[in-house]
């Protein structure tokens, strides 16, 4: 079975927020995401040796959907964060974590092929 980890709650992610004495806020580094999206997109569900054989929760289109999401995020980012002749002033990075508050992630057998991370500058 393939898993997307870590499973986090919104509260856990918010716990990474730190307020300095002068009132400035920042977030601690986000944990890395272990994703099987690309692997699931290339898997043969008819192969008895495949980790995805017979798995009803796997999304073989998850990787393609993640790429489409990344394109939309990039478009919104570019709309709001302009560039100049020397390039982008910022880089936006994101990660998709399994929501540990959702029962989907507590099924005995679960592989999704949908977790991801990405960046755009």
pTM of the prediction? 0.74
**Residue 57 vs residue 99, higher pLDDT:** 99
Domain ranges of the chain: 10-120
Q: What is the mean pLDDT of residues 44-71?
A: 85
Q: Given pLDDT bands bounded at 50, 70 and 90, which one contains residue 109? A: low
Taking 80 as the threshold, does the pLDDT of residue 4 lie above it? no
What pLDDT sits at residue 102?
87
What pLDDT sits at residue 72?
95
Q: What is the mean pLDDT of residues 27-31?
A: 79
Residue 121 CB burial class (10 angstroms; 0-12, 13-18, ≥19): middle
Condensed to tens digits (0 to 9), the pLDDT of residues 71-91 reads 999 999 999 998 999 999 998
**CA dihedral of residues 69, 71, 72, 73 (deg, nearest 10):** 80
Taking 90 as the threshold, does the pLDDT of residue 55 lie above it? no
- Answer for the pair 4, 98: CB distance below 8 angstroms, yes or no: yes
pLDDT above 90: percentage of residues in the chain: 23
Instruction: Report d(CA 121, CA 86) in Å as an integer.
Output: 12
The candidate with the shortest Cα–Cα distance to 118, out of 91, 83, 98, is 91
| DSSP SS3 for 63 | helix
Encoded tokens for 96: 């998709």
How many helices (H) and strands (E) would you count in the chain?
3, 6
Task: Give, as one character, the DSSP assignment of residue 106.
Answer: G
Condensed to tens digits (0 to 9), the pLDDT of residues 13-27 reads 878 888 889 998 887
């Amino acid at each position: 079975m393939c898993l997307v980890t870590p499973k986090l709650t919104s509260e856990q992610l918010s716990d990474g927020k730190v307020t300095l004495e002068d009132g400035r806020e920042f977030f601690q580094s986000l944990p890395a995401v272990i994703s099987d999206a690309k692997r699931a997109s290339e898997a043969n569900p008819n192969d008895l040796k495949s980790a995805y054989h017979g798995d009803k929760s796997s999304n073989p289109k998850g990787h393609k959907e993640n790429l489409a999401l990344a394109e939309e995020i990039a478009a919104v980012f570019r709309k709001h964060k302009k560039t100049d002749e020397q390039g982008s002033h910022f880089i936006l990075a994101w990660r998709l974590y399994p929501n540990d508050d959702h029962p989907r992630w507590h099924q005995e057998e679960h592989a999704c092929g949908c977790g991801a991370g990405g960046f755009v500058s």
